[in-house]
Amino acid sequence: MIDHLHGAAELCNLGFTCSTFHFVSIGLFSIVSESEIQDHLLQDGEVSFGRLLQRTGDTKCLIFCDKVLEASETEKEILPFEGVINLYHKRPVEAAKGARRSPDAVLPSRRQSGSSPGQRADSLVWAEVCNDLIHRVCTLFPDNFVGVCQLPQSPGVPPANCIPELRRCVEELGFVGCNLNPDPSGGYWKDPPLTDPYWYPLYEEMVRLDVPAMVHVSSSCNRNFHGTRAHYLNGDTTAFMQFLHSDLFKHFPTLRFIIPHGSGAVPYHWGRYRGLSLEERQRAMEEHLLKNVFFDTCVYHEPGVRFLTEVVPVENIIFGSEMIGAIRGRDPKTGEYFDDTKKYLDACSHLSDKELHQIFEGNARRVYPRLDALLTQRGC
C-alpha cells in the first residue's frame, strides 16, 4: 500500500500520506542510530522521539510535532529543548507497531503550510534544509520512505528558479516527485495561472525527469481565506479549473499532477466541469484532462470518500491521508480519528478488490514511475 501523506514531512505509503513537523528554528542535522530511535517507542503505543535527530554545530535546532507545541508547561519541562530535535506525538504509531495502516512506502515532504511566502534567497535555503532533512529520514529508513521535494518558490519569482533544486533532489537524492504551490503569494493569486507559459520551463524539467507534482497551496496571508479550512480547498478547485480551461496537456502530454483533499469542490460539481469541457473544449474530460490529473482521498468522512469514488474514475484516485490533519481529534459519533482516511475506503462496498488495489497502490506506481522502478528493484 502506498499512502499519500500530507503534513510537515509528507509521507506516502504506496498510496499517499503526509506527516507534518513544525520547524521552530533551523540548524544542521545528523541522524542517530535506529536502535536509539526504538528506545523512544513507549509501551502504550505512544511515541516520544526525543532524539530522533541530533543537532551538530553551534546553531540550536528544535523541531516539534503539533502535539509538542500544544503540550502543557509541565509536559514541556520534561522534554529536551536544547541541542536536539524533538518529535513528540500522542497518537499510536501504527507503522512502528505494524498495525492496520502500515504503509509499504511513504513519500515524505515538508509541511505544506511550512513554505510560507519569503524572498528568493530565503526560500532556497529553506527548501534545501527541508529536502536534506527528508533525505536523511529516507536514508535512515530506506525500506519505508522515498522522498518528495519542496520547491523554492517565492511571490513574483519565475518557477524556472526551482529547476536546480528539483534536479538536485531527483538526480542526487533519489526523490520521485515534487510539491508545487500554485499561489506563492499566500492567498492573493498574483502569479500567472498554472497553465501560463510562465510555468513551462519547470514543466519541461518535470517531463525530462519524469516526475509528477502534487499541487498544494501554502499558508494564507489573506485573512479572508483561512489556510486549512478555505485556502487549501479553494486552491485545489482553482488548480483543476485552470487545467480544464487550457490546452496545457497538448503541449505536455506526459505531465502529471495530483490534486489533494479529494480535489476540493470538484467532485460535487463534476457535471458542471464535464459540461464545460464539452462546450468549451469540445472534448470529454477523459480525453482532455484525466490522463494527466489525479486526485487523492484525503477527505474526512465516509460519505465524502464514497461520493468521490463513485463520481471520479477509479483510475484517477490515489490513496491520501494526513498524519496530522486539519482536524486532529476524534469523531464523537465513531470514536475514530477524523483523519484516518483508510477506514473510509474500506467501508466503500461498491469498490472491488481490484479497484481498491488501484487506489492503494497501482495508481500511485503509475503516476510516480520513479517510485515504481525503485519498488520493482526491491522486488515489491
The Cα-based distances of 42 to 71, 201, 352 in angstroms read: 17, 48, 38
Domain annotation covers residue 58: no
Domain annotation covers residue 319: yes
The CATH number of residue 6's host domain is 3.20.20.140
Pairing of strands 84-89, 47-56: antiparallel
Domains of the chain: total: 1
Domain annotation covers residue 335: yes
Domain annotation covers residue 256: yes
- Residues forming beta bridges with residue 47, ordered by sequence position: 41, 89
Domain annotation covers residue 75: no
Domain annotation covers residue 49: no
- pTM check: above 0.85: no
Domain annotation covers residue 301: yes
Give me the domain span that covers residue 313.
2-18+102-377
Please give the Cα distance from 247 to 261 (Å, whole number). Answer: 24
For residue 25, give the DSSP letter: S
Domain annotation covers residue 63: no
Per-residue pLDDT of the chain (380 residues; tens, 9 = 90+): 776 666 533 333 233 333 332 222 222 233 333 444 344 433 333 333 333 333 222 222 223 333 333 334 443 343 333 333 333 333 333 333 333 455 677 776 665 555 555 678 888 888 898 899 889 888 988 888 899 999 999 889 999 999 999 999 999 999 999 999 998 877 777 899 999 999 999 999 999 999 999 998 776 677 777 656 667 778 888 999 999 999 999 999 999 999 998 888 899 989 999 999 998 887 888 888 999 999 999 888 899 999 999 999 999 999 987 766 677 788 899 898 888 888 999 999 999 999 999 999 999 999 999 999 999 998 88
- Residues forming beta bridges with residue 229, ordered by sequence position: none
**What residues are annotated to the active site?**
322
Name which of 374, 378, 371, 375 is nearest 148 in CA terms.
371
Residue 253 burial (C-beta neighbours within 10 Å; 0-12, 13-18, 19+): exposed
